[in-house]
Amino acid sequence: MPSPPISAPAIRADNLRGAVIMLVAVGSFALMDASLKTLSPHYSPMQVTTLRALSALPIVLVWVAVRGGFGQLLRVRFGLHLLRAVLGIASLATFTYGLRHLPLSETYSIFFVAPLLITIFAALWLGERIGRTRWIAIAMGFAGVLVVLRPTGHGTLTLAGLAILATALTYALSAITVRVLGRTDSTQSMVFWLMVMVAVGAGVLALPGWRPIQPAHWLPIAAMAVTGSLAQWGITEAFRLGQASFIAPLEYTALVWGVILDWALWRTLPGTLTFVGAAVIIASGVYLLRSERVHAEAEHP
pLDDT tens per residue, range 51-98 = 999 998 999 899 899 988 999 898 889 999 999 999 999 999 999 999
Contact 87, 174 (CB under 8 A): yes
- pLDDT at position 1 is 47
- pLDDT at position 294 is 53
Separation between Cα atoms, residue 167 and residue 159, nearest integer Å = 12
Q: pLDDT tens-digit profile of 205-234?
A: 999 999 999 999 999 999 999 998 888 788
Of 154 and 173, the structure prediction assigns the larger pLDDT to: 173
Quote the pTM value. Answer: 0.79
* pLDDT tier at 291, thresholds 50, 70, 90: low
Separation between Cα atoms, residue 95 and residue 152, nearest integer Å = 22
